[in-house]
Amino acid sequence: MAGSLCMSEGTVKSHLSRLLTKLDVANRVHIAMIVHDANQS
């Protein structure tokens, strides 16, 4: 993922960690479910 976004792996991990914290979820699957549900509205 990092390569396709032209970012370092550490930057991607940092952004992911912040998302997990802000959304108060345990993993990336939960983020995907939130995004999916938001697109259904």
Q: In this predicted structure, what is the pLDDT of residue 28?
A: 94
Tokens of 10: 């550490």
Residue 6 main-chain phi, psi, to 5 deg:
55, 40
Q: In this predicted structure, what is the pLDDT of residue 1?
A: 84
What value, to the nearest 5°, has the Cα angle with vertex 15 and ends 9 and 20? 125
Q: What is the pLDDT of residues 8-41, one digit of tens each?
A: 999 999 999 999 999 999 999 999 999 999 999 7
Instruction: Please state the pTM of the whole predicted model.
Output: 0.75
